[in-house]
Structure 1
């Protein structure tokens, strides 16, 4: 653990709400709903400002935390095993995408990494909303390719509203 990382997590608890105000959360929610109209997958967008300081002291990574959030939000528990989590850890400037086994078996990890890289670049440029929507759209494009809608109603198994942890 570095002192800089500890300091970021100690003082940055409200940054996520400034980066993603209610209007931005509304727009991301609409992008998720529009994407899910094109496929049978489920997209979950989770934003966490900081880790608890105990996790920082234990050197918990954003990837480890994303796995915990994936399980806690039950992204793995969708009908077609096609849930995808986009996890943003603001203090570490980290973005992780985790896919359930149904979609992970069809999509190489490099595709998810590529989307994370694009999001990170947009976020570093201060373009949080457009970056988030671009990421949601890219994930939905992949889901539409592998789990296209068949015209029947698909239950919304995960909330479309981004979750602020």
Structure 2
């Protein structure tokens, strides 16, 4: 450092020591709330795009799943910086997923809200094939009813029957035959 006074100069030298401070990791891009349909294929999120740390390389920061509020709705796993969300069959609702990043003992948490919307499933027959063969000579009622997981009802009825009726159900298609 130079100081001048009345033409005289004083030169002074000194040392400044700057101590490094370990900064905690931070959130680079916040996670947007996620919406998926019931029974959807899995989702993946690259966590390298979410967190950063000015003291370390982003891919060297530890990522852990801190909480999954609804494991009955979604299975959440982290592998190689990828958050994988696998949706459970026939489940809908809201889950909160908390991801923790740790760097040199310091942490930051990010919260993901996942909404899985219900899908109206078609009725499903548990047996491969249901076969009804009925014989009537007068007016009668036939009622076949099946409730699906979504509480939808497949209903078949006849107010007047011929002498013979055969009713086949295969998967989602049905076949109806009447004999006179």
TM-score, normalised to structure 1, is: 0.27
Return the index of the structure with the highest Cα Rg.
2
Return the structure number with greater helix share: 1
The structure that is strand-richer by fraction is 2
Question: Please, what TM-score do these two structures have when normalized by structure 2?
Answer: 0.26
